[in-house]
Amino acid sequence: MTEVSLDVNDQHKGLYGGDCLPVGHIAAVGYEGQLYVSDDSGKSWRIQSQIESKPYQDIAWLTPDSVLIVGGISFNQGFSLKSSTWQQPDIQDFDLRNFEIVDVDHAEKDVYYLAGYGVILKSTNRGQHWDFTAAKNDYFKGMAWINAKEGVAVGYAGLILQTKDGGDHWEKIDDSGLPRNRKCLNVDMNMQGDYVIVGEHGFMAFKRAGASEWRTVRPFTDKDLRALKIVSKQEVLVCGSGGGVYLVKWPD
């Protein structure tokens, strides 16, 4: 594992979201509305100063020189905005909402999704307009998308939903084998239909395609696990609070 040094973040402020493009562009957002950008796969970074401090939570690339940022606080205050990664300061299309937004995903082509307190929104024109999907009844913390139609979402209280029609309908994924008091923070899926969820205090659970139950693993850390990526049929990359990065084997 190679650590990427963010030398412009000399005060070690928290980072809450990041995204990358195949050409080597990386963007990350975090505490006090800071936007960090790299054009060389993380070898060097610059700070894209913003007009005012905002509680940024996640980011997704729109074009090679613009990004979509979401954030919010206190469940009932959220926003999305667009920003150039070169002109500063630069905020475009600021959209204020009465619910917190914590996750943004680029699913495919012009299709993007937002997740937050009680809602998942969808845009088919790169964030110019947003429509509510049918998802409800949880504080949605994370999503994963195979394409513009097929995705999965997880809520803080443990609700796990899947859609195969771009959010018009969501179905609950059976939670057999999971603890009732789980607090979930993110989810991932692969093309084969395998699922992994992570959460507070080292919570992590796996479900193979076609399996009748989830398998919860014994926590290997007491830190909250906030981000994950299924990197192969047998391994999952996980990031946690305090800077922990783990490569976890799928349980036998």
Contact 103, 140 (CB under 8 A): yes
Rounded Cα–Cα distance for residues 28 and 17 (Å): 6
- Going by C-alpha positions, the residue among 74, 69, 120 that lies closest to residue 100 is 74
> Could you tell me the maximum CA-CA distance found in the chain, to the nearest angstrom?
51
Question: Which residues contact residue 244 at a Cβ distance below 8 angstroms, ignoring those fewer than 6 apart?
Answer: 221, 223
Instruction: For 122, list phi and psi in degrees, rounded to 5.
Output: -130, 140
pLDDT for 2: 46
Instruction: For 201, list phi and psi in degrees, rounded to 5.
Output: 55, 40
Domains and CATH numbers, the chain: 1-98 (2.40.10)
Q: pLDDT tens across 21-77, in order? A: 989 999 988 767 788 898 988 888 888 766 667 889 999 999 999 999 999 988 889
Q: pLDDT tens across 187-242, in order? A: 999 999 999 999 999 999 999 999 999 999 999 999 999 999 999 999 999 988 87
Per-residue pLDDT for 9 more than 60?
no
Segment (H or E) for 121? strand 119-123
Q: pLDDT tens across 123-158, in order? A: 999 999 999 999 999 999 999 999 999 999 999 999
Give all strands of the β-sheet with 245-249 in edge-to-edge order: 225-230, 235-240, 245-249
